[in-house]
Structure 1
Amino acid sequence: MKEIKKLNRNEIIVSIFILTYNQEQYIAQTIESILNQKTNFSFQLVIGEDCSTDRTRVVCEEFARNYGDKIKLLTSPEKNIGLIANYIRTIKECDGKYIAICDGDDYWIDPLKLQKQVDFLENNSEYSIVHTALKFLAPNGDFTVFLDSDNLNYNEFNNLIYSNFIFSVTALFRNVQFHEQLPHWVDQYPYGDWPTYLWTIKDGGKIHYIEDITAVYRKDIGVSYKLKDWYTEDLKIRKNILNDIHFKKYKQIVSKCIFEKECDLLMTFNRDKKFKESFKLFIELLKKEKGKLSLTRLYLYSLKKSFLN
């Protein structure tokens, strides 16, 4: 049997981490799309396989046997540990200078994706994240190109704190966890990519957008599709950031963002006839907001609009 030589940590430029659970029908395409990358540097796949009940693990093990020099397979031997626990243990095992993400139901279509992104970050030290355009794949098989030119102007923390406009399947970012582990509060939430991006650029790193289509994101499947409370989860993440000393210099913009998002939530509650939740949030905002008159007008306006509809 041929001996497989593992890459040394200092040889790895990019670690691609894949989270997978019960994705038997997709995972081979995902892994193959990564192995087909054409680069002038070494990369590794770190696969977090979370005790699937179908053949996902079997497929991953076969790839690991055939590409043991590139693949590090992490398994959950006894039970499913859940998305965020799998995320945290897998990202900790990434040895590369840079990290890329490709979930087990997505895949890459540009064989030069990694090379383009690494070339950019190597030549632009002020940037910490680079992402690209992509295609959406609907359950019925239809593709839709998503090319958002506005992303060319969204290049810093003050933009990203308002909305996660980075699709993880397109992202490449600096592996800052070598010297600073992700904050402890990340494991409280059902997803880790957005907090990771914010953590990566907290010291001023910028975000770059490439208008090349490099990947395919499957819509309306998976955990993110099933998550109904993402808006309130995002608010909780922002509040953790507000109270985290590492983000101290962004305190003003984070506070402003939280208030605006809570006002949006208040209006959403009224629109959905959740008047009790809306009133409770209104009282909470009154206690801490100086502009009580404008807040009251907003609340009454959304309440009136809800009744008229």
Structure 2
Amino acid sequence: MTDNCVSVFMLTYNQEDFIAQAIDGVLMQETNFKYELVIGEDFSTDRTRAICEEYAAVNLEKIKLLPSNKNLGLINNFIRTYKECDGKYVAICDGDDYWTDPFKLQNQVDFLEKNFDYSLVFTSFKFLFTDGRFVIKGYEDQRAITGFENLIFQNYICSATALFKNKLAPDDFPVWIDQCPYGDWPLYLWTTRKGEKIKYLSDVTAVYRREIGVSEKMKTVPCKVAKENMEILKYLKKDIHFAAHDRVISKSLKIHRFSYLGCLLREKRFAQLLPISSKLILTSPIRVVKLYLYILKRKLMNPKK
């Protein structure tokens, strides 16, 4: 049994320009407890693996490096790395992000240790753009206390700022999670499904790089994001562990279906409209017609868009 209080979970692939800064941000943490850094290195073709090996060689007690002899892909690398995290709590820092607050872990652990009815805490952060600009991302309209019934509609948590209870044993992974495009949102929902709360702290603790990485590329394809969120919600709806939340999951699924429908209309992907429209028109026919008319009106007013 481990005596690590926190397992820091880091995925990396072809991030030779960023990985050292990500690792340094973890190693600089000042804590009164033990923590480990678990790195899932996914068969990079650049120097990422070599850099990780150099750090691991001089931090044997702190770093657990998981190399791979083939490229596993994002979600499979996510699953195998998370299964090696045996701390009481888990924090996430991807290989192209980094922490800036040396007391990030200590402050977040202190909060969860004192507040047993919470299972997750997250903070503000800075965006770093490719032109070198930093922009602080606070949550002016973010309630300090939320929970599953808020998070089910949208993942508003920056993974680089999160710390949460490690509630998923290696043998308990949902069978559907390897079909998901990413794992952080489903993991947060699993962690909070029994009613424990989520705490937002306004401290700036991390830097999230914009315009690079897989998750950023996904955001440039709104139809793809909406469709993948729908698929995740369908999995949750079928999973008995989420049965108590069926009503709110159904509500979120309906909203994401409308979002997907709007994307298809805007992108004139008419061949894909029928399946999604048929599901929505049974429960919200007037809303579907209004959406069609709204998109048509915009296209007529702005034919070049």
TM over 0.5: yes
Query: What is the match of residue 117 of structure 2?
Result: 126
Question: What SS does structure 1 have at the residue aligned with 2:45?
Answer: coil
Cα drift, residue 154 of structure 1: 5.7
Contact 1:182 1:196 in 2 (8 A): no
Q: CA deviation at 1:49?
A: 0.7
- Report whether the alignment pairs 1:200 with 2:191: yes
**Structure 2, unpaired ranges of 5+:** none
Aligned match of 1:181 in 169, 172, 191? 172
* Aligned: 1:161 with 2:152: yes
Question: Quick one: which amino acid aligns to residue 213 of structure 1?
Answer: V
Instruction: State the alpha-carbon separation in 1 of the partners of residues 275 and 80 from structure 2.
Output: 38
Give the Cα separation in 2 of the matches to 1:107 and 1:135: 10
TM-score of the aligned structures, taking structure 2 as reference length: 0.93
CA-CA distance at 1:184 after TM superposition? 1.2
What is the match of residue 295 of structure 1? Answer: 288
SS in 2 for 1:32: helix
Aligned partner of 2:254 among 252, 255, 259: 259
Tell me the CA shift for residue 258 of structure 1. 1.0
Residue 198 (structure 1) shift: 0.4
Is the Cα contact below 8 Å between 1:154 and 1:160 reproduced in 2? Answer: no
C-alpha contact (below 8 Å) 2:127/2:210 kept by paired residues: yes
Map Cα deviations across residues 43-87 of structure 1 (whole Å, 9 max, x no partner). Answer: 00001111111111111111111000011110102x111111110
Which residue is equivalent to 2:75?
84
Which amino acid in the other structure matches residue 101 of structure 1?
I
Whether contact under 8 Å (1:173, 1:200) holds in the other structure is: yes
Q: Could you say which residue in structure 1 is the equivalent of 2:226?
A: 231
Change (3 A) 1:51 1:180: closer
Q: d(CA) in 1 for partners of 2:286 and 2:23?
A: 56
How far residue 158 of structure 1 moved from its aligned partner, in angstroms, is: 1.1
Measured against aligned partners, the alpha-carbon deviations of 1:17-68 in whole angstroms (never above 9, x if no partner) come to: 1101111111111111110000000000001111111111111111111000
Unaligned runs of 5+ in 1: 1-7
* Residues 282, 299 of structure 1: 8 Å contact kept: no
Hey, what does 1:3 align to over in structure 2?
none
Residue 4 (structure 1) aligns with: none
- Please tell me whether the aligned partners of residues 144 and 201 of structure 2 are also in contact (alpha carbons under 8 angstroms): no
Structure 1 residue 259: deviation in Å?
1.0
Question: Is it true that 1:148 corresponds to 2:139 in the alignment?
Answer: yes
2:240 alignment counterpart = 245
1:108 pairs with 2:99: yes
The alignment's TM-score, normalised by the length of structure 1, stands at 0.92
CA distance, structure 1, for counterparts of residue 159 and residue 58 of structure 2: 27
- Match for 1:156: what amino acid? G
Aligned position for 1:36: 28
**Is the deviation greater in 31-40 or in 256-265?**
256-265
Query: 8 Å contact 1:267–1:278 — kept in the other structure?
Result: no
Equivalent pair of 1:182/1:199 in contact (CA under 8 Å): no
Q: Structure 1 residues 297 and 32, CA, compared in 2 at 3 Å: closer, same or farther?
A: closer
Q: Give me the whole-angstrom Cα distance separating, in 2, the residues matched to 1:297 and 1:133.
A: 37
- In structure 2, the residue matched to 1:67 is 59
Matched, 1:99 2:90: yes
Alpha-carbon distance in structure 2 between the residues aligned to 1:193 and 1:101: 9
Rounded Cα–Cα distance in structure 2 between residues aligned with 1:263 and 1:178: 35
Query: How many equivalent pairs are there?
Result: 298
- Distance between the aligned counterparts of 2:57 and 2:170, measured in 1? 32
Which residue does the alignment assign to 1:5?
A: none
Distance in 2 separating the partners of 1:154 and 1:305: 38
